[in-house]
Amino acid sequence: MPLQNQSAKLKQLFSKRVTNQARIVLDSYQKCKEANWEDQDRLSNLSSAAEKLKHSAERFEMQEQHEIANKITSLLKLISSSSPSSESISTLDTFIQELNEQTLRKSDLADDTSTALSSGPRTFLRTPVYIAINNKEFANRIISQLDFFGFRSISFEKADNLIAASQQNKPETVVMDIDFGNEKMSGFEAAEALQAKHETPVPIIYLSSERDDIQTRLRASRSGGEEFFYPTVDPGQLIEKIERYTHASPQEPYRVLVVDDSQSQARYIDTVLKKAGMHPLTITDPMKVLLALEEFHPEIIIMDMYMPGCTGMELARVIRQQDKFHSVPIIYLSAEDDLNKQLHAMSQGGDDFLTKPIDPKHLTSTIHNRGRRARSLLALMIRDSLTGLYNHTHTLHLLEQEVTKAQDKEQPLSFVMLDLDHFKKVNDTYGHPMGDRVIKSLALFLKQRLRKTDHIGRYGGEEFAVVLPNTSEGDAKTIMSEIRERFSTLPQPCGDTSFCVSFSCGIATYEKGKLEANAKQMCEKADQALYQAKHDGRNTVRSYINDLLQ
């Protein structure tokens, strides 16, 4: 065998070994996530797998894999020595995503799903959206659109392959024809078989071209159908639904303030809440509650009814006197079993009453119910109803907070204002519902491509604002230029046709020594930069520092 061919085969073999080890790391990572990072054995297995990957990549001179494995092992050493914080988990997510993308370059390029399945089990960092649609052309349009928005997806033609794939990797969402496989109601049969493989239901978005009767809709609902589209659905509308049921980010733990003068009772509640994945802060001196409120910003408050110095009812009235805590749920704890006294206590600012001794399941269930409602109400107050992004007022509030942090930590902060180009023409040509669809598509596009720590808001109409903490002017311009360029090529489907829309962007950056500013000044400067971008021909990015001060 020629030396060149032999070298190529060896290189291919080494690459395969490292790729296989990377898959083991990805699989171990998924198991840790499933256990909510509380299973030490799974965490140990992940650390061991990452160490092996690091050594294999170093041995076979695969630099990219070695570097990312080194980052993962270093972070895992910190996580294993203490309870993992949401910030460290988020950083690990980023490293794992990098590793997953490197692995995909080597192994996930097969177009034919059956070929990919026959080559052995595949482990995904984020399970793809599964597409089970008879119309192959429409399925490809959906896949193309999903790719633009950062979703991975796989199309299936046979129910057996769909069920086998879902058993290996539980899908977060399935888009399915009710007659999948071109047989009457066969989509329901496939969905029922798929659901039987999992303890919790998989959200399914059903498409129907012929039937819309109550019996069909009932069967769809019973087999996990969350949405039912008849007779047709626009790809943009479908992607909005997919995004709703595809949880890219885990829910933030509830911040719970526990006020109880009994140290043993406080420790007990603290332990129960931590096991349930919540973030509690416990204080045993009710006189310190105002300080705790300011520093901790709880979403839920649990307090004893009878404490030295004051009662729970008195403390609740004091808390309710502050507007920002007026809607925070307060749950009383007491051995009091007199129903009249319980009702009186709730009339004094309380939302619920739990009797001691407290059942852990009852406690966590009550907090989850109250927490969900509180977050929903807060979202109505601070979020835009069309896009789900922060509204104008709350975006400015977040900007003010980030300016203060940036000044305290002496870090850069960028504020971005962007505006859709020729938006009136879109409304006039395609109608206002299509205009709303474009606005929602840009909102989703921004959410998919920016960090969790960034704040995205709808400033008004077709105008958006983005707060980028710890981001220099150059980095902000690079990020927004990439997003602008990509978005301008995104087809906006409208019936049998499609069109593209671009946006213009203005950036103002606070950097110590370069540009000092407060929130109001940053808004004005970003707006000036946006005006310059419009003046320069649109579909471009301009910064206040480099483009207006030069």
Decide if 3-107 and 392-548 have a common fold: no
pLDDT value, residue 171: 85
Res 524 pLDDT > 60: yes
Higher pLDDT, 141 or 100: 141
**Residue of 382, 497, 487, 384 whose CA lies nearest to 436:** 384
Q: For residue 116, what pLDDT band results from cuts at 50, 70 and 90?
A: very low
Q: For residue 488, what pLDDT band results from cuts at 50, 70 and 90?
A: very high
pLDDT value, residue 33: 74
In the Cβ-directed half-sphere of 15, how many Cα atoms lie within 13 Å? 13
Cα distances (Å, whole numbers) of residue 361 to 73, 86, 355, 381: 36, 24, 13, 30
Beta bridge partners of 417: 465, 506
pLDDT mean over 511-521: 75
- Cβ neighbours around 266 below 10 Å, total: 19
pLDDT value, residue 193: 92
Task: Name, of 8-12, 335-339, 344-348, 429-433, the range with top average pLDDT.
Answer: 429-433
pLDDT value, residue 119: 35
CATH architecture of 3-107: Up-down Bundle (1.20)
Task: Please state which of the ranges 176-180, 375-379, 401-405 shows the lowest mean pLDDT.
Answer: 375-379
What b/e readout covers 103-116, taking b as 16+ CB neighbours within 10 angstroms? bbeebeeeeebeeb
Are 228 and 265 in contact by the 8 Å Cβ rule? The answer is: no
- CA 246/CA 226 separation, integer angstroms: 12
- CA 15/CA 59 separation, integer angstroms: 11
pLDDT mean over 318-338: 82
CA angle 385, 391, 392 (to 5 degrees): 140
CATH topology of domain 113-245: Rossmann fold (3.40.50)
Residues 6+ apart with CB under 8 A from 72: 25, 50, 53, 54, 92, 95, 96, 99
- pTM to 2 decimal places: 0.61
Higher pLDDT, 264 or 116: 264
The percentage of residues in the chain with a pLDDT greater than 90, rounded to a whole number, is 32
- pLDDT tens across 237-279, in order? 788 788 778 765 556 789 999 999 889 989 999 999 998 888 9
Res 58 pLDDT > 60: yes
CATH number of the domain at 255-381, out of 3.40.50.2300, 3.20.20.80, 3.90.1070.10, 3.40.50.10860? 3.40.50.2300
**Residue of 364, 363, 306, 311 whose CA lies nearest to 335:** 306
- CA 275/CA 42 separation, integer angstroms: 17
Residues 6+ apart with CB under 8 A from 499: 426, 430, 491, 492
Average model confidence (pLDDT) across the chain: 83
- CA 309/CA 357 separation, integer angstroms: 23
pLDDT mean over 27-49: 78
pLDDT value, residue 56: 82
Beta strands 174-177 and 129-132, pairing class = parallel
Res 504 pLDDT > 80: yes
Q: For residue 125, what pLDDT band results from cuts at 50, 70 and 90?
A: very low
Res 110 pLDDT > 50: no
- CA 352/CA 188 separation, integer angstroms: 42
pLDDT value, residue 41: 77
pLDDT value, residue 435: 93
Higher pLDDT, 102 or 223: 223
| Domain assignments of the chain as residue spans, ordered by start | 3-107, 113-245, 255-381, 392-548
pLDDT value, residue 414: 93
pLDDT value, residue 9: 53
CATH architecture of 392-548: 2-Layer Sandwich (3.30)
